[in-house]
């Protein structure tokens, strides 16, 4: 097929949400470009779970299978690269890549994910996604009943501890400074034998990302199998905000039930617009986005 630079839809981000949207659109006979930089946020994660038919596969294997299946639809094109910028045009949008390539489309999908901001703790980044975990539904079963830590404080830390107590009763909360739990929260933690450590963390001892000990600044070592944490994050791409897309109070792209952002013609799917960060949720959002865009194109053209 002759290569062209004009598409009905451009998808920025070729991981689970982006590939899922591309499949919906490919099966709808739409001309689609998927632009992917190959840097998914879960690239360190050894195995993905809680996704029917793919439970226990590596994230890379799932993505590769998805890409192979999507590219069987000959109206879908895949490009390795990064989006450098985009602007609104009279007929849709114009997108330029970091390599200087220019593409146009009537609709854009941002499936660009989030960038996690690692705390300044030696060993944290190396363990992220391996033994420092964000989601018990994705990884909790594999560390059930094990010695487990939680990085958190206040109401958020309390809620995290309450959730994780379903998977293990051997829990320690590391507040990394003075605890800010309410009296009621502190009493409830005490009732459930959940320990609270306020001493700051010095470093995390690990072997190839597998936690051995949390080492406090006073030299105390706490042996653990896993830690749950919710580090800060930012949007992986600032292009949507530059186009006027609004963010939620959590820093996610604001979308409606059809995955539309606040800018007509721009959609978002996956981690960049959903706090429930999982492969299954991203695939679901991508599929919905593709279907909603196809419906919109049908309505515009009929």
The model's pLDDT over 113-158, given as tens digits with 9 standing for 90+, comes to 999 999 999 999 999 999 999 999 999 999 999 999 999 999 999 9
Confidence label for 70 from pLDDT (cuts 50, 70 and 90): very high
Look at residue 176 in the predicted model and tell me its pLDDT.
95
Look at residue 47 in the predicted model and tell me its pLDDT.
83
Q: What is the mean pLDDT of residues 49-65?
A: 87
Q: What is the number of alpha carbons within 13 Å of residue 197 lying toward its C-beta?
A: 21
Confidence label for 4 from pLDDT (cuts 50, 70 and 90): low
Look at residue 54 in the predicted model and tell me its pLDDT.
86
Residue 204, SS3 per DSSP: strand
Q: What is the mean pLDDT of residues 192-210?
A: 97
Name the average pLDDT for the chain. 94
Q: What is the mean pLDDT of residues 73-86?
A: 96
Q: What is the mean pLDDT of residues 237-242?
A: 97
Buried b (16+ CB within 10 A) or exposed e, 195-214: ebbeeebbebbbeebebbeb
Look at residue 49 in the predicted model and tell me its pLDDT.
86
Look at residue 226 in the predicted model and tell me its pLDDT.
97
DSSP code at position 177: S
Question: Which domains does the chain carry?
Answer: 6-116+232-301 (3.50.50.60), 124-228 (3.50.50.60)
CA distance 193 to 252: 35
Query: In this model, does residue 2 exceed pLDDT 60?
Result: no
Q: What does each C-alpha distance from 6 to 81, 102, 211 come to in angstroms? A: 17, 9, 49
Q: What is the mean pLDDT of residues 233-259?
A: 97
Share of the chain above pLDDT 70, in %: 98
Residue 125, SS3 per DSSP: helix
């Amino acid at each position: 097929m002759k290569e062209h630079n004009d598409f009905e839809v451009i998808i920025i981000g070729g991981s689970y949400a982006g590939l899922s949207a591309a499949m919906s659109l490919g099966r709808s006979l739409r001309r689609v470009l998927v632009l992917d930089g190959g840097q998914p946020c879960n690239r360190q994660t050894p195995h993905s779970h809680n996704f029917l038919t793919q439970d226990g596969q590596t994230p890379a294997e799932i993505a590769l299978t998805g890409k192979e299946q999507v590219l069987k639809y000959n109206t879908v094109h895949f490009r390795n690269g990064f989006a450098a910028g985009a602007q609104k045009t009279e007929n849709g949008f114009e997108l330029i890549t970091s390599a200087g390539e220019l593409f146009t489309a009537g609709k854009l999908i941002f499936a660009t994910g989030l960038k996690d901001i690692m705390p300044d703790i030696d060993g944290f980044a190396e363990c992220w996604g391996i033994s420092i975990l964000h989601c018990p539904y994705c990884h909790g079963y594999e560390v059930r009943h094990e010695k487990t830590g939680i990085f958190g404080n206040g109401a958020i830390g309390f809620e995290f501890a309450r959730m994780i107590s379903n998977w293990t009763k051997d829990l320690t909360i590391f507040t990394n400074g003075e605890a800010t739990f309410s009296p009621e929260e502190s009493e409830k933690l005490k009732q459930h034998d959940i320990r609270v450590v306020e001493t700051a963390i010095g470093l995390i001892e690990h072997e190839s990302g597998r936690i051995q000990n949390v080492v406090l600044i006073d030299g105390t070592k706490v042996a653990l199998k896993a830690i749950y944490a919710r580090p800060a994050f930012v949007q992986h791409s600032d292009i949507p905000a530059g186009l006027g897309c609004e963010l939620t109070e959590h820093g996610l792209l604001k979308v409606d039930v059809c995955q539309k952002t606040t800018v007509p013609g721009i959609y978002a799917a996956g981690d960049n617009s959903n706090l429930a960060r999982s492969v299954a949720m991203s695939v679901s959002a991508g599929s919905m986005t593709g279907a909603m865009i196809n419906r919109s194109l049908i309505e515009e053209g009929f």
